[in-house]
Amino acid sequence: MATQRRDLLKKLLLSTPDHGVVCATYLTKQGFTYDNIKNYIRSGYLDQLGRGAYCKHGNKPDVAAAVAALNQQLSLPVHVGGKTALAEHGFLHFVPFRELPTMLFAQTKVALPAWFLRFYTNTFVLTRTNFLPDGDGVEQKVFGESSVLMSVPERAILELLYAVPEKQMLNEAYQILEMMTVVRPKLMQSLLQKCSSVKVKRLFFLLAERAGHSWFGDLDQSKIDFGSGCRVIDEGGTFNGKWQLVVKEWSTI
């Protein structure tokens, strides 16, 4: 019996990553019972982050570790995107992004566990939206010490524009897009055609046309639905007839 307990404890320690998060559902699939988990908490091997989530005693897993657990243990399609993803891809050298909340994205019907929302409050900003299909332009990438789902640059710039003007300044988005001298036109084209946000598509072409990158000419505008009617981004801005937008002069704001 003592040997069995030692073997189970060894399995627990191997199953729980250093500085990582381990979920109850994952542990039960590994053969642990809820009584086992309670005993490990009482014995000082595990700390509880909230109902259904734990870490090794004394550790303080960051939000990246928690997102990795959501992805890998709970199969939840939440991903790091927008400004955070662009920073990880090297497009935000002038912003102290590691001091900012992590930008997370999920489809509107994805429900995140209460322990994540409570324990990591103020460390992330979650955007629930279906303006792009789930999984398109998302890949595994190391973030901090964890491997998480993250937007590639082509998706991330569209996610950034989705936040304009409420949570994102247009001039900063333009500065970032100016740095994106290498873009995969086929992927960008596919994302734009699947994008359901008229605002995002118009803003992207407005800024990309001004930036003048060589890849811009490879995009086929005729295959993209730009909708109808004017979109007002900035009250008191100037009307741009080509893209049917009212915006301030973003390059000098």
Does residue 231 form part of some domain? Answer: no
Sequence-separated (6 or more) residues with CB below 8 Å from residue 222? none
Whether residues 82 and 146 fall in one domain: yes
Strand partners, 11: none
- Tens digits of residue pLDDT in 133-160: 999 999 999 998 999 999 999 999 999 9
| 98 pLDDT above the threshold of 70 | no
Does residue 246 form part of some domain? Answer: no
Placement of tokens 């927008």 in the chain: 82
Q: Output the CA–CA distances (angstroms, integers) from residue 24 to 15, 31, 53, 113, in the order listed.
A: 12, 11, 6, 12
| 100 pLDDT above the threshold of 70 | yes
Whether residues 49 and 81 fall in one domain: no
Average pLDDT over residues 102-107: 97
Does residue 240 form part of some domain? Answer: no
Whether residues 208 and 110 fall in one domain: yes
Whether residues 123 and 199 fall in one domain: yes
Who has greater pLDDT, 98 or 183? 183
Number of domains making up the chain: 2
Does residue 67 form part of some domain? Answer: no
Contact 82, 103 (CB under 8 A): yes
Whether residues 169 and 112 fall in one domain: yes
Does residue 188 form part of some domain? Answer: yes
Q: Output the CA–CA distances (angstroms, integers) from residue 186 to 49, 59, 175, 181, in the order listed.
A: 42, 43, 23, 15
Question: What is the reported pLDDT for 97?
Answer: 46
Does residue 9 form part of some domain? Answer: yes
Whether residues 156 and 104 fall in one domain: yes
| Main-chain dihedrals φ then ψ at residue 96, nearest 5 degrees | -75, 65
CB atoms within 10 A of CB 238: 10
Whether residues 10 and 112 fall in one domain: no
- Angle (CA) 25-26-27 rounded to 5° is 90
Whether residues 142 and 187 fall in one domain: yes
User: In terms of residue numbers, what domain contains 13?
Assistant: 2-56
Average pLDDT over residues 36-49: 93
Closest among 137, 134, 205, 221 to 173, alpha carbons compared: 205
- Tens digits of residue pLDDT in 17-31: 788 999 999 999 988
Global pTM reads 0.92
Distance (Å, whole) CA 240 – CA 119: 45
Does residue 106 form part of some domain? Answer: yes
Does residue 22 form part of some domain? Answer: yes
Whether residues 96 and 14 fall in one domain: no
**CA torsion, points 102, 86, 81, 169, in degrees to nearest 10?**
80
Whether residues 134 and 212 fall in one domain: yes
Q: In what order do the strands lie in the sheet with 46-50?
A: 22-23, 53-56, 46-50
Whether residues 9 and 117 fall in one domain: no
| 1 pLDDT above the threshold of 60 | no
Whether residues 51 and 165 fall in one domain: no
